[in-house]
Amino acid sequence: MIRGQKTKLRAIEREDLPTFVRWFNDAEVRHYLAMYMPMSMAEEEKWFERQLEDQDGKVFAIETEDGVHIGNIGLHSIDWKNRRAYLGIVIGEKEYWGKGYGSDAIRTLLGFAFSEMNLHRVYLTVYDYNERAIRCYEKCGFQCEGRLREARFGDGRYHDELMMSILREEFVAQ
Ligand SMILES: CC(C)(COP(=O)(O)OP(=O)(O)OC[C@H]1O[C@@H](n2cnc3c(N)ncnc32)[C@H](O)[C@@H]1OP(=O)(O)O)[C@@H](O)C(=O)NCCC(=O)NCCS
């Protein structure tokens, strides 16, 4: 368990997979994510098997203090030489959006990434229309460092994708 102020991060279990499939088949959630095809349990089971072998990535379940599993957060493409990793997050239980759980989970994971995993840089990408996520990342200290023009196609048109990052010294100075 990695404990934050209002969330805790735990390992994901095989029993969590039906919950992930429910979240990722919700169009409102998927609107903000790279995935766009309907997802089956079989695909999710395959993904889980790959996770178990992945030395360069780790996904955690986000739970509230009273143990409600509301989302996932992970570090991906961990580059152990350059000490950097890509952060991904989803709160799948929509009634928990905009209540501070995402920023708490991110701060908690950043603390772990910088203090325990000895990472130097954590980065992410976000679609320009995802204002809630951008605000959440800025609150956590991420800075926008680039704009991938028309990198995302969705709802019949192209959207820009923003690149954001935070360095260890910026996180520590907060
Ligand atoms: C993005 C996500 C992880 C953020 O977590 P969260 O718990 O909702 O975020 P927080 O409540 O910590 O912070 C959100 C901030 O945006 C603000 N906000 C909420 N809705 C907003 C909106 N529609 N437009 C702009 N800002 C908004 C909130 O008020 C809050 O800012 P404040 O603390 O200054 O008031 C979560 O909303 C989520 O999983 N969304 C769906 C999937 C997704 O977008 N994943 C990220 C892909 S890059």
Provide residues with CB under 6 Å of ligand 1.
Answer: 29, 32-33, 71, 89-91, 97-103, 126, 130-133, 135-136, 139
75/56 Cα distance (integer angstroms): 8
Nearest 5°: CA angle at 152, between 149 and 158? Answer: 75
Nearest-CA residue for atom 42 of ligand 1? 90
Instruction: Identify which of 134, 135, 164 to mutate to test ligand 1's pocket (most ligand atoms within 8 A of the CB).
Output: 135
Tokens of 48: 């889980």
What lies within 8 Å, CB to CB, of 109 at 6+ separation is 2, 9, 60, 73, 75, 87
Q: 48 falls in which pLDDT band (50, 70, 90)?
A: very high
Q: Contact at 8 Å (CB) between 61 and 75?
A: no
56/85 Cα distance (integer angstroms): 9
Q: Contact at 8 Å (CB) between 61 and 16?
A: yes
Answer whether 0.85 is exceeded by the pTM: yes
pLDDT tens column, 128-151: 999 999 999 999 999 999 999 999
Ligand 1 centre to CA of 162 (Å) is 15
Nearest-CA residue for atom 44 of ligand 1? 32
Q: Which residues pair with 79 in a beta bridge?
A: 84
Q: Contact at 8 Å (CB) between 161 and 148?
A: yes
pLDDT tens column, 50-75: 999 999 999 999 999 999 999 999 99
Q: Contact at 8 Å (CB) between 159 and 127?
A: yes
Tokens of 71: 């989302």
Instruction: Identify which of 60, 136, 159, 160 to mutate to test ligand 1's pocket (most ligand atoms within 8 A of the CB).
Output: 136
Ligand 1 centre to CA of 49 (Å) is 30
